[in-house]
Structure 1
Amino acid sequence: MTNNDIIPGFDEEKDESLKIRLQKVDNVDGCIILYLNGYIDTYNSNFFQKRVSKVIEHGYVRIIFHCGGLNYVSSTGIGSFTAFLKAVKTRNGDIVLLEIQPKVYEVFQLLGFSQFFTIKDSLDDAVAHFSETGKKPQEEIFPKIFKCPICSKKLKATRPGRFRCSECKTILAIDNSGQVFLG
């Protein structure tokens, strides 16, 4: 099955620096795996964003990014992943990063984004994450203890909403699912 069979027109645009292969997950609604091969930087991030936006527009909101073949991601690329996470969260979806390379994970960590993403080591664990989500009652999420993405101070949120980090004064927001965002 080709990418165009899964999402018509997906391969209309290509970029040699980043190859994306799609694979549907049959037993989970709206779930798809994107095998990423190459790198994501300032020059090809627009290509990456357009391809993934097409996936989301086609109703795939449970996205597994298979990062085993992804050997570099710039801060612009991380920004793309964050935008996708926001886009799927508003549609009750989520993103799982799979087999992320240590040097790629380091960029997520340095920029303070590693805690926002679910990271799994096996495809079975990634698919299981989506089979389990949506079954957690609200009470299990809050109170939530997490680290400030800017200064790493441990913070506690008793409910969703906006508040300020007691250490660095950064404004943070927590949604109903317990995801932490800047702003």
Structure 2
Amino acid sequence: MPDLPQHRPVLAGARYNGMAGSGLRLEALPEGHLLHVLGAIQPAALAAELVKAGLANSSIRTAGFRQWFVAGDAPLPPAGLDVLTTALAGKAFVMDQSHGRVRIGVSGRSSRLLLSKGTAVDLDPSVFPEGSSAMTMVGQISVQIVRTGNDSFELTVPRSFAESLWDELCDMAASAEKDGGV
């Protein structure tokens, strides 16, 4: 019998530390867990259920009307998914997207400028404060952008587009640095 395929992170070891003084960093984030939750449950109630399911360190991101992504760095134990699915029965549906999406971190004082080259979302902190999220396009690739700090963002992209998005971000960063814009 052939060996079963082994999971290999799409962007394993990928890093981009901009030119000296640019203050820009791109990094592939751990492929932990990503759940898509749909239903009539409030984020506070969802957070309480995540704690019960052993996913207290996960973050909840708005993904649309009555839709959230629950993201975390640790792999999802099957028992945790079962506990959460049972707890949310009748209130929300849970779909494990861990295998199908990849997260990329963009940080540094030039991160907002870099992302503004690829998306029409207004990333000014007064409009898009920490914790905000938006489903948008970067170039031709669908992503969710989340502000995780003053100068840091997380992009969630379908797995099959992760390398293309990575290359596009690196190209935009290198071009901006060459022109002195980042």
- The TM-score with structure 2 as length reference comes to 0.26
- The TM-score with structure 1 as length reference comes to 0.26
Bigger fraction of residues in helix: 1
